[in-house]
Structure 1
Amino acid sequence: MANRNRKGESRQHCLVASSNMKGESKQQYLMASRNRKGESRQHCLMASRNRKGESRQHCLMASRYRKGESKQHCLMASRNMKDVSRQHCLMASRNRKGESRQHCLMASRNMKDESRQHCLMASRNMKGESRQRCLMASRNRKGESRQHCLMASRNRKGESRQHCLMASRNRKGESRQHCLMASRNMKD
């Protein structure tokens, strides 16, 4: 080593030569060299990974971890590099934050320009509510009367159209007797 110093080789070069004598790997020396040049340990570890054939993206994620970014942020960065859509990434983020899958699917639909009502119906279906209840919610948003919706509901339950019309009349303030007469007329 003294000989090397006389030849003008750097101290780092000498330490690397020294490391070689101790059987350390070349990569380990280069990292030691970088540390001496003031590069961060993380930079060195990334350099190590690159030599081991790991992707640059993997290295950048390792870098993010060390900077205190969440694992989710790192995975999103990974997806973006793989050309996965931003929406897919945001859904992955929501799932990690404990939001329901349904909430995520609604977010997905909103990004696809589907109506909010469609999303709310999807939500109801996931909660076990009947399709009919969802369709009624849809009608209410379209300005149809609640009575129209209830009649649609009854029709699905197998009640006669006449029964529905009577229910409609009752809501309009007609007497029960008027309704019963209307019923008889329908039976004639």
Structure 2
Amino acid sequence: MLTQHFHEHLHRRRTLLSTYSTHPEYLKDLEQGADLINPWDLGPELTRPARGLKLWFTLQAMGANGLGSAVEHGFTLARWAEDEARKNPDIQIVSPAQMAMVNFRYAPAGLDDAACDALNTEISRRIVESGYTGVFTTVLNGRTCLRICAIHPEAKEEDMRGTIRKLNACCAEVLAE
């Protein structure tokens, strides 16, 4: 009887965790720890109804003009990151800055696609581990890329350019090893 109760409890727990969970490519870096429970998997935060409430509240607090300025700021941040990335010939822009995102990958001459995938994964791991910023990976066209989603309201041009320079330094460290 105890065994049956235990299995029922596990089934209910898995059902609860899968109710609101979502696992797109751009969140996979955050799912690596088997014991890690992400708060968004325990509530409706990534669902439309909660997003609608957040938008309504944001419009009430900031107004349409304030929200528009914040959104445009994110677009500009992504353009600055792309501009800095284009200065490095080892970087391929996979999808140019649009909205507040830019996707790119380090692809130095002489490395095959698998090695570049591993390089980009390691660069992401190192920059996140450093605590400087959260630049995670995603998969586009079957290749591992770095993804910047630039939405911090206090970020400045130097922050975006500095992020790319830090990523360049991580890349150089990995290649030197």
TM-score calculated relative to the size of structure 1: 0.20
Higher helix fraction (1 or 2): 1
Q: Rg larger in 1 or in 2?
A: 1
Say which structure, 1 or 2, has more relative contact order (CA 8 Å, 6+ apart). 2
TM-score calculated relative to the size of structure 2: 0.21
Higher strand fraction (1 or 2): 2
